[in-house]
Structure 1
């Protein structure tokens, strides 16, 4: 079952098999150039149109790490999420091209209690393009609050974004 696109449920309330979906985002030329500038990743398949036209893809492709970063932002993890615990089994399965629209799904595949307050949720994350091609697959482990009461306490202490 695919549910809402924001993971802000305490770990104890998440069910194995629960799936959520992110919103989509179109990858632009500006994204690719900014990522080249930020990381120094000027590999020609990403930055040289003439070179890329002679490759198996026939055009420039988006950096896999950029797609991974975009998906991380699109997944909209809420305050129940305390920290990224690790990423395993990351695979780049299909090229992303400038102009592709990407989105992701996440499926709860494991839960482990750390202590009374925190646990680790493991999610199978798949990134897709507008055609439904699977672009990337990985398993993300995330440190999460376990109980709703702890989440509500955290939210009560948070600085409000909007004031009356």
Structure 2
């Protein structure tokens, strides 16, 4: 008579050999029926282990990034993740830094940007206005603006009248 497996026991906490980590296990016995008279033993495993604690492990560090600037003070960074393996079933997360930085060496100094003053310049004159009186001596006006260019960064205002 060939052997046949009995029912699985209920799942219960168990330990992985040689570790403090816990799992859930259940087992069965080859007794339904037990092999007899030269019959074959039960095939398959008598124990199943599941949901074992799995502690996290770091991946390898990535390559260093480019420097964060091309002059002055800059840093390079590299990263890693806690996915080798990812912690599961109460496993510990990875300890340590996920990102690290180092200073970039021998970068040139950044040039100082000091804006040069721009003096104001006059625009073209506007058209003449209409005469201020219908007959006799009157006045006409025209205007110009200090916008060609406008003074900036400490530059001088336009010299002369705007009318």
TM-score, with normalisation over the residues of structure 2? 0.18
Q: Relative contact order (C-alpha < 8 Å, sep 6+): which is higher?
A: 1
TM-score, with normalisation over the residues of structure 1? 0.18
More helix by share: 1
More strand by share: 1
